[in-house]
Structures are given as structure tokens and as C-alpha cells.
Amino acid sequence: MKVKVLICAMFLCLLTGCAAFSDGESTKQGYIALSEKNYDLALEYFDKAMENNEDLQDIYRGQGIAYMGNAEYDNAVSALRSSLGESRGYVGEMEFDTAFYLAVAQFRNGDPASSRETCTAIISLDRNDPDAFFLRGKSLLALGEDDLAMRDFNMAVSLNKNDPDLYIDIYECLSNAGLAEEGGGFLKSAMELTKINDFQKGKLLFFMGEYDEAKDNLESARGDGSDPELILWLGKTYEALGDKSYAASLYKTYLMENKGNVEIYNQLGLCEMDTGEYEAALQSFETGLEQGDSGIVQSLLFNQIVAYEYLSDFKKAAVLMESYLKAYPDDEVAKREYEFLKTR
């Protein structure tokens, strides 16, 4: 039985940084709800905005982002396309922004070919957008076009040379695609940057397998411990060093003081699974799912199923797996696991 870890989560920030473009009051309230990750409430406001005849382009865009937050990617793609359709051929800041959301939604919807096409359209109008090159590279990688993906990743770096996080994101994508050796060059290039903080250096060292040095840099950057991403990577580093108990205590301490971070709930659950605390792990995964953040919902759902398996509740695991496969039909690992569950 395998658990799914958080992979390539660079797009999570999209769902928290969505400024409104509209003057409509209900639309404004919808975007405020989006910023608070209250996606159902946002959709209610956008429905009201529709009734009030507020700007359709803004409404559809907001609906698309809200649907992404709820992992309703078919609806997200439809709404974002409708938003772009309301532009009537004008291309400005809002249209570029919406198009990039569309490309992300298409990728998350299991349609990397459409994501690639959308990114290509963005690039045709602005060849200086590193995010579009990165996402197109990620889409190409999913389509098995490794050489073209590497070309786009290199172009993204050439347009944003001084961002260590971009190098790390590229490495993660390549590593997850079984191309860790090719991704290693990006890590080395990032280490040569002159402007790199302790946190970024710690992450780079983590991926390079230098866990003691990574820990030292991450501890140096720790500060008051309020940065969830830093706590996540520091915990992962302690896990890699074999100190899973301390890693779990880091996650738990953070969650006691800062509710709602799904990545940390997921990582805590994984840590608890490794130490045989299956009831606690199940609780962590389910609490993470209750937060409603779409970025890692697939991982949380799969890990929840595995926790039920370890607890020998195969009937519950099979029911959940059947539902999971309806949402993620291309997950080959899950298909094999479902065949196993049907025999129990």
C-alpha cells in the first residue's frame, strides 16, 4: 500500500491571490470570500451578482476560481472560458490572468494537452512570461514530450534567473516524472545564485540529500515558527534524518496555534502512518479534507483510503476508492489498489 505525497504544489497560491477587477458589490464580496478560501460562499455571491446584472466577465472568472477551489475542474474550465469569451477580443491584464487560471484548471482536470494549448496562446502574446513557459513545460512533461518540456523549463529560468523557487519547482516536476538526474542541474544552478536566503538554501540542500545542512539552514530561517511552508520543510528534513517523532511534534505544535493548513495535516498524517499511528493518521487526513483546499485533495483522499486499509476496514476503503476513481479515473496506482480491495 502506497500513500501519496504532496507534489508540485506551486499553483496553490493562485487560489489566495485573486484580486477583483469589478465594481459590482456582490462580485467584490465574492472575491473577498475567495481570498478567505470560502468557495461555496463565493459562488453564492457570484450567483447574486449574476441576478444583479453585474459584469459577466468578472463573475465568470470568479466562479472559475471558486470551482477550482472546490476541485470542480470541469465547471472551472467552463466558467473561465466564458469569462474569456466576454472579453470580445480585448487582451489585457485580466485576460492574461484568466487564461493562466484556465491553463491550471485544464492541467488539474487531467487535460495537459489543452493546458499546453492555452499556455501556447499566452506565450504567443507575451514571450516574457516565465509562469506560462513553466506550466507549458509541466504539461509537455505529462504528455511524455520530455525534450520540449526541458526547453520550456530552460526558457522559464532564462526569464526569471534569480528565483530559487522556480528552480526547485522544476526539479520537483522532473523528479516526479522520473527525471531526477536531469533536474539535478537546476538545483546546482540555484545554489550558485547570489541572492538566496536560508529557507531557499535549506530546500535546495534537502533535495540534494544534504539533510544535516538543510536542517541547519531551515532552523536558521525558522524565526517564530509561523511560516507553514518552512515548518513543512523543516519537518520533512527531520523525517529524512530519521527523527519522525520530532517532525510530528513540529506539525502538531504548528496546527495547535494555526488551524487549517492542509499540507501540514497531510504530512502529519504521513508521518503518523510511518510510525504505525493509523487512527491518528486517519484523523489528520480527514481534518485536512475538511479544510476544503483543492491543491492536495487527491493526495488526502488517497491517503485516507490507505489509512482505512491499515486499520483493516477494507469495506470502507473499497467504497471510498470507488468514489475516488470516479474523480481520478487515470490513477493507475489506485486502480491496482482497488482490485486488491475487491478481493478482501
* Confidence at residue 152, expressed as pLDDT on a 0 to 100 scale: 98
In a domain, 315, yes or no: yes
> Grid cell 538543510 — which residue?
214
pTM above 0.75, yes or no: yes
CATH number at residue 130: 1.25.40.10
| 11 inside domain | no
The H-assigned helical ranges of the chain are 25-35, 39-51, 56-69, 73-85, 93-108, 112-125, 130-142, 146-159, 164-176, 180-191, 198-207, 211-221, 228-240, 244-257, 262-274, 278-290, 297-310, 314-327, 332-341
- What's the number of domains the chain is made of? 2
Per-residue pLDDT of 130-164, as tens digits, reads 999 999 999 999 999 999 999 999 999 999 999 99
Of the residues 154, 175, 196, the one at which a domain ends: 196
Q: Give the pLDDT of residue 96.
A: 92
Give 190's contacts (C-beta < 8 A, 6+ positions apart): 164, 167, 168, 196, 200, 204
Please indicate, yes or no, if residue 220 is contained in any of the structural domains: no
**Residue 343: inside a domain, yes or no?**
yes
Q: Is residue 192 part of a domain?
A: yes
Which of these three, 167, 196, 225, is where a domain ends? 196
Burial of 104 (0-12, 13-18, 19+ CB in 10 A): buried
Domain of 139 in residue numbering reads as 122-196
Residue 173 forms part of a structural domain: yes
Q: Is residue 237 in a domain?
A: no
- Rounded Cα gap, residues 304 and 288, in angstroms: 10
pLDDT at 209: 94
- CA–CA separation, 67 and 78 (whole Å): 10
Burial of residue 222, with CB atoms counted within 10 A of its CB: 0-12 exposed, 13-18 middle, 19 or more buried:
middle
Last residue of a domain, one of 174, 196, 218: 196
Average pLDDT per 10 consecutive residues for the chain, totaling 344 residues: 42 47 84 91 96 95 93 93 90 91 93 97 93 97 96 97 94 94 93 91 94 97 91 96 95 89 94 95 94 78 96 94 88 87 81
Q: How much is the pLDDT for 21?
A: 54
Residue 104 lies in a domain: no
